[in-house]
Amino acid sequence: MNRVREFKVVKAVFLLVFVLIVSGCKAKEETYKVQTLRSMDGKTSITFISPEKVEWVEGGAPKISAEYENEGKNMLRVEIKQKGKEKTMLFSITPEGLKDKQGNTLYSEFAMAKKKEEMGRAEKEEERLQSGEFK
């Protein structure tokens, strides 16, 4: 009778450990948050879909899968391999998002909203000054 009881205890412990391991793996999987950064005109975007994969969209072209990796603290390397060709892009990581060599910025959602708000205020101020309305 003791052996049956021991077997049940061992089985219960095994199942508990198995459940904890499996649920722990699922929790790690779900922690990656997909994030998209866009240009101000919305024509160019990069979507981080996993810890090493991105989807790149430029102009009206279809999405292209690519790989990325950090280079130091403030640089990001994106490598696109398509039809036997390879293209490497380097970005500086900024508080707003990513900036390429030409100075083009891909903004995070938060930075984009902030930038549009600033532009809206500047536009209203310009209109106010143009109309001769001073406060």
Residue 40 bridge partners (DSSP): none
φ/ψ bin of 50: left (φ > 0), alpha (ψ from -120 to 50), beta (otherwise): beta
Per-residue pLDDT tens digits for 33-43: 899 999 999 89
**What predicted TM-score, i.e. pTM, was given to this entire model?**
0.66
SS3 assignment for the chain: CHHHHHHHHHHHHHHHHHHHHHHHHHHHHHCCCCEEEECCCCCCEEEECCCCEEEEECCCCCCEEEEEEEECCCEEEEEEEECCEEEEEEEEECCCEEECCCCCEEECHHHHHHHHHHHHHHHHHHHHHHHCCCC
For the cut 60, the answer to whether the pLDDT of residue 29 exceeds it is: no
Per-residue pLDDT tens digits for 111-126: 888 888 888 888 888 8
Pairwise CA distance, residues 32 & 101, whole Å:
28
